[in-house]
Amino acid sequence: MLALAAFFALTALLYASVGFAGGSTYNALLVLAGTDPQVFPIVALTCNLIVAVGGTIGFARAGLIDWRRTSPMLALSVPAAWAGGVIPISKALFILMLGLSLLAAGVLLLMQRPPQDADAAPRAGAVGLLASGPIGLLSGLVGIGGGIFLAPVLHLVRWDNARRVAATASVFILANSIGGLIGQLMKAMAGKGAPVAEVVAYWPLAVAVLIGGQIGSRLAIGRLSPGLIRRLTALLILYVAMRLLWQWWTGT
């Protein structure tokens, strides 16, 4: 558990520094550690919430959240995330979906255009609305917040400048994590998911991401190029995705 907690803390630090919460990688780490598959989504979504709360508060205080444009996306994504959380899926399907979603996220991050920081980019609200529902459903199914998918899409269509996209992704992650977690807990209480006592045993991971997330939010890795961080993160995500897909393919 100590080694896993250290990896969770590092993941939270890195992801928080670029506006994400790390749910996809938390899940991947749990899979690769041989954890009970019923535990994956609840633990990952709980850790997501811890990291995303801090990021969202910071963005809100800075006045970077455009609630008028963000709220319609949340109205579509959160119910979808809840529905995804309620749906029971097998371990094999979970690993396949997580591996494919990470593969897509890595590719999207590599394709992401350099953001425009000086001026807001042309509005592309329709694209955000169209993407939010499916991303929310996938988020609930595999226990992630979905910001790692939404942010590259918003950058690709020049939805807004980099800081506002990051703020929107943070709110999106927080809201979808709540919706997905409620669905996962309802599934657990219905006897179709992990027993609550089993999940509680992973409390050190929550402490680890709290520490890592706070450090990441404050440091923000200001001395490194955001483009370099994005590319390195994408390569890490692609590596983990291939590990998961290989595990699914071989059945190990």
pLDDT of residue 194: 61
Which of 85, 164, 178, 87 is closest to 128 using CA atoms? 164
Predicted confidence band of residue 225 (pLDDT cuts 50, 70, 90):
low
Q: How far apart are CA 19 and CA 22, in angstroms?
A: 10
Number of Cβ within a 10 Å radius of residue 99: 23
How many angstroms separate the CA atoms of 148 and 65, rounded? 17
Average the pLDDT over each of 19-23, 78-82, 197-201 and give the range with the smallest value.
197-201
Reading the block at residue 192, the tokens are: 């179709």
What integer pLDDT is reported at residue 117 of this predicted model?
45
Quickly count: other Cβ atoms within 10 Å of residue 92's Cβ: 12
Closest-CA residue to 144 (of 66, 80, 227): 80
Amino acid identity at 245? L
Distance CA 22, CA 7 (A): 11
Nearest to 59 by CA among 138, 175, 164, 196: 164
Whether the per-residue pLDDT at 251 is higher than 90: the answer is: no
pLDDT at 116 over 60: no
The residue segments making up the domain with residue 199 are 2-250
Percent above pLDDT 90 for the chain: 23
pLDDT digits (tens, 9 = 90+) for 170-215: 899 999 999 999 998 888 777 665 666 777 889 999 999 999 988 8
**Total number of domains constituting the chain:** 1
Residue 90, SS3? coil
* pLDDT reported for residue 73: 93
Q: Distance between CA atoms of 94 and 100, rounded to whole angstroms?
A: 10
145, 139 Cβ separation under 8 angstroms = yes
**Does 43 score more than 70 pLDDT?**
yes
Taking only the tens place, the pLDDT of each residue in 147-176 is 888 887 887 777 877 778 888 888 999 999
pLDDT at 118 over 80: no
pLDDT higher than 60, residue 224? no
Among candidate residues 11, 32, 53, the one with its CA nearest the CA of residue 233: 11
Q: What average pLDDT does this structure show over 120-143?
A: 79
223 pLDDT higher than 60: no
* DSSP 8-class letter at 126: H
Global confidence as pTM:
0.83
Residues sharing a CB contact under 8 Å with residue 100, sequence separation 6 or more, in sequence order: 241, 245
**153: DSSP letter:** H
**Range in 22-36, 129-143, 181-195, 238-252 with the lowest mean pLDDT:** 181-195
